[in-house]
């Protein structure tokens, strides 16, 4: 995908988001009472309209005038992604699944069971590591290390499971 | 003088020195782990102080506060994930320095300038507590709104290649923070009836998602698609910054310390605003503004000096008026009151000894932080020896713990994942994500102060142009936007001129 095509796709999707956002804000949030009460609706509504306006500006700039803003994600951002590949999108989806599954397992099985499952899955399935020393070291080290340090030493509550509870 | 000597004696007991050191260590640990803030550390440390004497007890709390403020820079520089919102601006140049193999110089500089900013603000506090507290308290909602608007104008300097994309990013950040229960009217906004959505998006959860999740995705993607490219983040060197380097940045440190102390003295502002304003100031007045974002040491010096100068600034309204500027100082206030020290105008008459003891404790806390961090740098940089994908696995677990522990809610882990994936998509479309953080940090204050000001004036907008302070901040915001527009225009014109010259 070229930079121009990316910008068109970005502005159209954010334009749709701003339209839905503004509509939902108007539909669900009440206005103020007057006499200086700006009300809870004003800011989100104005922000939705501003976002829409900016997206239209980006669209005009890219699509009609044929200008593409400089191709850099911005100063100091997390590694600007050089090229989007199917592996990158695949990895993104897999990480999203892993985080969601970890949240679910944490609630049901607790920290001490959910964490080794997550680490094992990531190392063996996602990263395809085959060194059993590394896999065991990471899985047990991270789980027990975090449990001892956070829960036992610092007294921070780590989740207990609703199905099992061995913490 | 006699009272001061007594206070010095009470602050220099082994018990007091050890408790300040313990506080600094706890603060450093909590500050350096994304999601675990020094506010949490202070809440955990408060019960420990119940049985202690006043000076060691307050020393423990102040040590935790100062250690936490400084510790945020460790993960910001090493991993590109700020430990606290105040360290978000440090990522911009601190992490690129790590990639260039200069992690230890960045870390060393960060801790030294932090100590400078903190001690500078303490001196300002001692000398001018009366005057500064009077000026700071005169800031009403309109003045704070104007200050925050000025802070938002720094988005222009963080846009990278495209001003429009930077503004889109900032608008997204502001929008995210309107989700949840409206703090003024108590109305639900964009919650879709979900109990979890009612508490809104937590700033720390969003920050972890924005910075950590894209790092994790990228590390895993590189390992699976290009195993030969998967390697350590950078070369590891354990060098400290030279005196010459610090000397060259002395003027910048002084300016950022003044900025941080002033902003810290205004209740409801805080380290994040100070550090972004200082970063923008450093970039604007630098001889090499184009090198910002690529590992310029000034980009570490400015935010770290300013956010630590905030610590002294926040103590001004706390001690002289009993007004805490942020949740962390509210816990310090609770600690003071538990030990029978009631801040306010009579504090210096009734508890002069304890107040002088606190001043000594702040200096000791910074000495502890300096010692612990300088010793720790040799240890911290070894994190970079770990292969990137294994580091990402550890970061994934630590960030999930951090997100969960903020409110003991699994929903925050889901929110972290969703925001992180959205951030990755935005970065792949070359949208800068730093303005999102700025929008999220400043958004709630911007809205609340604007609405409060309008309520106070019964809807009359005159409140925004009748105060000289407001007009000054509005003018500064316009100046920043104007300067950015001019520099963009010049940058666009330059290639055209070069083409003509070539022809």
The count of CB pairs under 8 A between chains A and B is: 254
Inside any domain, residue B503? no
* Residue contact B190–A122, C-beta within 8 A: no
CB B397 within 8 A of CB A119: yes
Residue of B63, B70, B66, B33 lying closest to B48 (CA atoms)? B63
CB A141 within 8 A of CB A119: no
Cβ-nearest to B427 among A29, A55, A77? A77
- Residue A34 pLDDT greater than 80, yes or no: no
Mutate to test the interface with A, among B416, B429, B461, B487 (most CBs of A within 10 A): B429
- Residue B38 pLDDT greater than 70, yes or no: yes
pLDDT averaged over chain B? 82
pLDDT value, residue B295: 86
Q: Which sign does the torsion angle of CA B92, B97, B103, B106 carry?
A: negative
* Residue contact A104–B410, C-beta within 8 A: yes
As beta bridge partners, residue A160 has A110
pLDDT averaged over chain A? 84
Q: Which residue has the higher pLDDT, B494 or B49?
A: B49
Q: Which residue has the higher pLDDT, A1 or B23?
A: B23
Round to the nearest angstrom and report the end-to-end CA distance of chain A.
Answer: 49
pLDDT value, residue A151: 85
pLDDT value, residue B208: 84
Tens-place pLDDT, residues B420-456: 999 999 988 888 888 888 888 888 888 999 999 988 8
Chain B residues within an 8 Å CB radius of A44: 175, 178, 189-190
- Tokens read off for B346: 């009579």
Count CB atoms within 10 A of the CB of residue A114: 24
Which of B117-121, B223-227, B402-406 has the lowest average pLDDT? B223-227
User: What's CA B471's distance to the chain center, in Å?
Assistant: 26
pLDDT value, residue A167: 58
Domain ranges of chain A: 3-64, 87-153
Cα distance between residue B462 and residue B298, in whole Å:
39
- Residue B3 pLDDT greater than 80, yes or no: no
* Residue contact A88–B159, C-beta within 8 A: no
Round to the nearest angstrom and report the end-to-end CA distance of chain B.
Answer: 77
Tens-place pLDDT, residues B154-207: 777 677 667 888 889 999 999 998 999 988 888 899 888 888 888 888 887 888
CB B87 within 8 A of CB B307: yes
Instruction: Give the three-state DSSP class for B474.
Output: helix
- Residue B381 pLDDT greater than 80, yes or no: no
Mutate to test the interface with B, among A73, A123, A139 (most CBs of B within 10 A): A73
Cβ-nearest to A40 among B96, B182, B429? B182
pLDDT value, residue B467: 86
Residue of A130, A132, A125, A48 lying closest to A94 (CA atoms)? A125
* Residue contact A77–B292, C-beta within 8 A: no
Cα distance between residue A32 and residue A14, in whole Å:
27
CB B446 within 8 A of CB B152: yes
* Closest-approach residue (CA) in chain A for B91: A76
Cβ-nearest to A84 among B184, B397, B428? B428
Cβ-nearest to A92 among B217, B390, B458? B217
Q: What percent of chain B has pLDDT over 70?
A: 90
pLDDT value, residue B238: 56
* Residue contact A73–B160, C-beta within 8 A: yes
CB B377 within 8 A of CB B240: yes
Inside any domain, residue B36? yes
Contacts of B410 (CB under 8 A, 6+ apart): A103, A104, A106, A107, A159, B404
Tens-place pLDDT, residues A61-78: 887 766 555 544 444 444
Count CB atoms within 10 A of the CB of residue B181: 16
pLDDT value, residue A116: 94
**Domain span at B31:** 2-487
pLDDT value, residue B491: 65
* Residue contact B408–A30, C-beta within 8 A: no
Q: Count how many residues are written for chain B.
A: 503
pLDDT value, residue B26: 86
Inside any domain, residue B497? no
* Residue contact B458–A115, C-beta within 8 A: no
Please, which residues 112-141 of chain B have a Cβ atom closer than 8 Å to chain A? none
CA distance B189 to chain A (A): 6
Chain A residues within an 8 Å CB radius of B416: 99
Of B90-99, B297-306, B401-410, the range with the highest mean pLDDT is B297-306
Compute the average pLDDT of residues A138-153.
Answer: 90
Mutate to test the interface with A, among B152, B159, B170, B175 (most CBs of A within 10 A): B175
Cα distance between residue A123 and residue A115, in whole Å:
12
Inside any domain, residue B495? no
Tens-place pLDDT, residues B203-233: 878 888 888 898 889 888 876 655 555 455 5
Please name the residue that has the structure tokens 């310090």: B332
Q: Tell me how many domains chain B contains.
A: 1
- Residue B502 pLDDT greater than 60, yes or no: no
Compute the average pLDDT of residues B47-72.
Answer: 84
pLDDT value, residue B407: 84
pLDDT value, residue B30: 82
Q: How would you class B295 by CB atoms within 10 Å of its CB: exposed for 0-12, middle for 13-18, buried for 19 or more?
A: buried
ipTM for the predicted complex: 0.89
Inside any domain, residue B114? yes
């Amino acid at each position: 995908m070229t930079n121009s095509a990316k910008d068109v796709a970005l502005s159209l999707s954010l334009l749709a988001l701003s339209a839905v956002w503004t509509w939902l804000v108007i539909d669900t949030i009440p206005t103020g009472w007057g006499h200086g009460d700006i009300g809870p609706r004003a800011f989100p509504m104005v922000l939705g309209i501003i976002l829409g306006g900016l997206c239209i500006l980006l669209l005009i700039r890219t699509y009609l005038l044929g200008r593409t803003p400089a191709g850099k994600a911005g100063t100091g951002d997390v590694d600007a992604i050089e090229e989007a590949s199917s592996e990158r999108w695949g990895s993104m989806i897999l990480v999203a699944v892993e985080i969601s599954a970890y949240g679910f397992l944490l609630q049901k099985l607790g920290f001490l069971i959910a964490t080794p499952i997550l680490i094992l899955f990531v190392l063996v399935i996602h990263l395809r590591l085959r060194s059993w020393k590394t896999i065991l070291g990471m899985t047990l080290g991270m789980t027990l290390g975090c449990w001892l340090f956070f829960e036992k030493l610092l007294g921070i509550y780590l989740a207990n499971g609703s199905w099992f509870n061995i913490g | 003088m006699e009272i001061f000597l007594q206070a010095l004696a009470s602050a220099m007991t082994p018990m007091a020195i050890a408790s300040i050191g313990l506080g600094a260590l706890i603060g450093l640990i909590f500050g350096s782990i994304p999601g675990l803030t020094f506010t949490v550390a202070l809440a955990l440390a408060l019960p420990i102080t119940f049985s202690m004497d006043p000076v060691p007890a307050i020393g423990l709390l102040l040590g935790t506060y100062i250690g936490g403020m400084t510790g945020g820079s460790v993960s910001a520089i090493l991993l590109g994930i700020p430990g606290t919102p105040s360290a978000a601006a440090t990522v911009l140049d601190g992490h690129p320095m790590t990639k260039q193999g200069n992690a230890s110089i960045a870390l060393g500089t960060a801790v030294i300038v932090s100590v400078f900013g903190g001690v500078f603000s303490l001196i300002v506090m001692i000398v001018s507590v009366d005057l500064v507290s009077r000026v700071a308290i005169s800031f009403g909602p309109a003045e704070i709104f104007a200050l925050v608007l000025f802070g938002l104008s720094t988005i222009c300097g963080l846009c990278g290649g495209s001003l429009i994309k930077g503004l889109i990013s900032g608008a997204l950040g502001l929008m995210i923070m309107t989700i949840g229960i409206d703090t003024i009217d108590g109305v639900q906004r964009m919650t879709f009836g979900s109990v979890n959505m009612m508490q809104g998006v937590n700033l720390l959860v969003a920050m972890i998602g924005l910075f950590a999740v894209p790092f994790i995705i990228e590390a895993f993607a590189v390992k699976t698609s290009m195993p030969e490219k998967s390697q350590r983040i950078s070369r590891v060197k354990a060098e400290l910054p030279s005196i010459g380097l610090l000397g060259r940045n002395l003027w910048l440190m002084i300016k950022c310390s003044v900025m941080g102390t002033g902003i810290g003295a205004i209740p409801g502002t805080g380290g994040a605003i100070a550090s972004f304003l200082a970063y923008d100031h450093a970039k604007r007045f630098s001889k090499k503004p184009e090198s910002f974002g690529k590992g310029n040491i000034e980009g570490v010096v400015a935010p770290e000096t300013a956010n630590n100068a905030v610590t002294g600034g926040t103590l001004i309204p706390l001690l002289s008026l009993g007004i805490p500027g942020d949740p962390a100082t509210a816990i310090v206030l609770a600690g003071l009151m538990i030990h029978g020290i009631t801040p306010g105008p009579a504090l210096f008459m009734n508890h002069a000894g304890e107040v002088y003891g606190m001043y000594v404790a702040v200096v000791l806390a910074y000495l502890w932080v300096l010692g612990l961090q300088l010793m720790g740098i040799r240890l911290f940089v070894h994190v970079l020896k770990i292969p990137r994908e294994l580091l990402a696995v550890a970061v994934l677990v630590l960030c999930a713990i951090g997100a969960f522990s903020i409110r003991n809610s699994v929903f925050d882990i889901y929110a972290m994942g969703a925001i992180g994936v959205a951030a990755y998509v935005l970065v792949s479309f070359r949208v800068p994500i730093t303005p999102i953080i700025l929008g999220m940090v400043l958004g709630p204050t911007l809205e609340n102060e604007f609405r409060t000001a309008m309520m106070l004036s019964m809807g009359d907008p005159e409140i925004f142009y009748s105060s000289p302070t407001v007009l000054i901040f509005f003018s500064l915001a316009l100046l920043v936007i104007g300067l950015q527009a001019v520099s963009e225009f010049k940058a666009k014109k330059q290639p055209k001129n070069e083409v003509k010259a070539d022809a």
